[in-house]
Amino acid sequence: MSIDAVLGDLTTEHADALVNAANSSLLGGGGVDGALHAAAGPALLAACRRVRAEQWPDGLPVGEAVATEAGNLPARWVIHTVGPNRNAGQTDEALLASCYTRSLDVALTLGAHTIAFPAVGAGVYGWDAETAARVAVRAVAEHPRTGIERARFVLFSPRLYNAFSAELARLA
């Protein structure tokens, strides 16, 4: 079982499950959410609408995770999670950690062997790179993820890549 970080675009990452930094509506947005929906095609939005209708009528709570199909993405599932919005005063790191923990819980339920994450919360929601990386790497490293062979962080900027790499080096 490995945990690594790469500089790249999550929409072209091949994994059983790709994690989306969504918002509670699950109906799309900007950032990596917008990019995943654009690459997946309309099947992803349709699946998200079904989740809202059947499982989370009031929206997905912060720190929770839920899976859908992945449309045209190179994955079997998208696992949607909602980071705390630091810019809106949601400063609890435990909620950010929960995004990773709950995503891994869902991945294990699905039978996923590989999973790829963006830096949840590190864009529109305002978490700085160092905190985002520390919380993410610790949450994944501490998870009893039996059955998952590879957890990968796919970072969109050199600054985030460096922050995640430094945290991973600290683990080793």
Q: Which residue from 16, 66, 70, 83 is in contact with ligand AR6, where contact means CB under 6 A? A: 83
Q: Measure Cα distances from 39 to 11, 35, 138, 139, 171 in Å.
A: 7, 6, 30, 28, 33
Q: Which residue from 6, 7, 51, 124 is in contact with ligand AR6, where contact means CB under 6 A? A: 124
| CB nearer to ligand AR6: pick between 82 and 107 | 82
- When asked if residue 23 is in the footprint of ligand AR6 (CB under 6 A), the reply is yes
Q: Which residue from 33, 60, 68, 102 is in contact with ligand AR6, where contact means CB under 6 A? A: 33
List the x/- string, 96-115, binding to ligand AR6 by CB under 6 A. Answer: --------------------
| CB nearer to ligand AR6: pick between 63 and 83 | 83
Please state, in angstroms and rounded to a whole number, the distance separating the CA atoms of residues 150 and 169: 16
Sheet order of strands, 2-7 included: 2-7, 150-155, 114-117, 17-22, 77-82, 65-69
User: Does 33 participate in catalysis according to the annotation?
Assistant: yes
- When asked if residue 40 is in the footprint of ligand AR6 (CB under 6 A), the reply is no
| CB nearer to ligand AR6: pick between 148 and 155 | 155
Considering only the stretches 44-52, 105-113, 120-128, 136-144, report the one whose residues sit in contact with ligand AR6 under the rule CB under 6 A.
120-128
Give the containing element (helix H, strand E) for 40: helix 31-40
Please state, in angstroms and rounded to a whole number, the distance separating the CA atoms of residues 25 and 48: 9
Instruction: List, as one string, the DSSP characters of 77-146.
Output: EEEEEE---GGGT---HHHHHHHHHHHHHHHHHHT-SEEEE--TTSSTT---HHHHHHHHHHHHHHS--T
- When asked if residue 156 is in the footprint of ligand AR6 (CB under 6 A), the reply is yes
Q: Which residue from 21, 107, 135, 148 is in contact with ligand AR6, where contact means CB under 6 A? A: 21
Residues that bind ligand AR6 (CB under 6 A): 9-11, 21-23, 29-33, 35, 83, 118-125, 154, 156-157, 160
